[in-house]
Amino acid sequence: MKNIVCFGEVLWDVFPTHKKIGGAPLNVALRLRSLGNNISLISKVGSDANGRNIVFHVVDHDINTESLQIDNTTKTGVVEVTLDHTGSASYVIETPVAWDNIELTETAIKATQNADAFIYGSLVTRNSISKQTLYTLLNSAKYKIFDVNLRAPFYATEILNHLMLEADFIKFNDDEIFEICQTLGFNSQIIEENIKFIADRTKTKSICVTKGSKGAVLYVDGGFYWNSGYTVKVIDTVGAGDSFLATLIHMILKENTPQEALDYACAVGALVAGSEGANPEIHKKDIARFLKPNY
């Protein structure tokens, strides 16, 4: 069991017919907790009904809320989610909202110092208050995991570069790594070459790139590992990448081999994509159904 801090946005994903609690850091936190880790969440919600319901939900899932702040002047975050015919999601992200104003506190600093891993994304840097809090906490973190998670127009090359340089582990999807590498002047359509470019530029020893239904590539200490994905009928892709990352980090921190970690994470990501919502319950027997041919 590891102590892990997740930093960033918590919000409501609002679909045409319903809404669900989400935000990448919270999705990652929930999956990590379901895998048996001790999780602290550093974020902020409004003092409105949406915020209270998020707090109830987080407490109900046994996540530490000492650093989940309450904003009395700004509302809880909301994202409008649209799914296309393949189940792929697009987002309209409201601003300003409570998680734009995450403050630096002694509680947050201590949680970060005591964590085995600190997970953060890029979206939370769209506001200077949360960005500065993140930058300061990164100075206290032992093992830093950057979940790139680009959401236009809320990112800038200078900030992304800083966040990559701070990271011990970076997770991209394929579109994200191609876009960032091209912005930095590197043009290749081969994922492994892009990974090596980022690894050399940022001195990052561990990088993972997800490829949707085609699986993922993991780079660890100069070596590559591959998984070609598992076949599921996609319901929606919301949260699949978050559960993938959470599972991958969980397996790596448990000192599984990189290939074992990658295969297990791809299985969980596929099962989430084949379910409704970002945080469906996942059963070990379903994971085993995917993994059995590999072991």
177-196: per-residue pLDDT in tens? Answer: 999 999 999 999 999 999 99
Q: Is pLDDT of 150 > 60?
A: yes
The total number of structural domains that make up the chain: 1
Residue 260, in any domain of the structure:
yes
User: Residue 277: which pLDDT band, with cuts at 50, 70 and 90?
Assistant: low
Q: Is pLDDT of 211 > 90?
A: yes
Prediction pTM value: 0.93
More confident residue, 241 or 51: 51
The string of pLDDT tens digits covering residues 112-138 is 999 999 999 999 999 999 999 999 999
Mean pLDDT value of segment 21-26: 94
Q: Is pLDDT of 108 > 60?
A: yes
Phi and psi at residue 219, to the nearest 5°: -115, 125
Residue 83, in any domain of the structure:
no
N residues, the chain = 295
Distances (CA, A) of 279 to 20, 105, 148, 215, 250: 9, 29, 20, 19, 16
Least confident of 27-41, 120-134, 151-165, 237-251: 237-251
Mean pLDDT value of segment 209-232: 94
Mean pLDDT value of segment 136-142: 97
d(CA 203, CA 183): 18
Q: Is pLDDT of 88 > 80?
A: no
Residue 170, in any domain of the structure:
yes
Instruction: Give the domain extent around 279.
Output: 3-9+24-42+102-294
The predicted pLDDT at position 281 comes to: 75
Q: What is the mean pLDDT of the chain?
A: 93
d(CA 6, CA 47): 21
The DSSP element (H or E) to which 292 belongs, if any, is none
Least confident of 40-49, 241-250, 266-275: 266-275
Token pair, residue 232, equals 């599921």
User: Residue 288: which pLDDT band, with cuts at 50, 70 and 90?
Assistant: confident
The predicted pLDDT at position 30 comes to: 96
Residue 64, in any domain of the structure:
no
Q: Counting Cβ atoms within 10 Å, is residue 231 exposed (0-12), middle (13-18) or buried (19+)?
A: exposed
Residue 175, in any domain of the structure:
yes
d(CA 96, CA 126): 10
The predicted pLDDT at position 237 comes to: 66
d(CA 220, CA 263): 15
Mean pLDDT value of segment 59-68: 97
User: Residue 18: which pLDDT band, with cuts at 50, 70 and 90?
Assistant: confident
Q: Is pLDDT of 59 > 60?
A: yes
The predicted pLDDT at position 278 comes to: 62
d(CA 17, CA 32): 28
Token pair, residue 207, equals 């990088």
More confident residue, 58 or 287: 58
Q: Is pLDDT of 86 > 80?
A: no
Residue 265, in any domain of the structure:
yes
3-class SS of residue 49: helix
More confident residue, 6 or 237: 6
Residue 154, in any domain of the structure:
yes
CATH number of the domain encompassing residue 177 = 3.40.1190.20
Cα 286 off chain centre by = 23
Residue 92, in any domain of the structure:
no
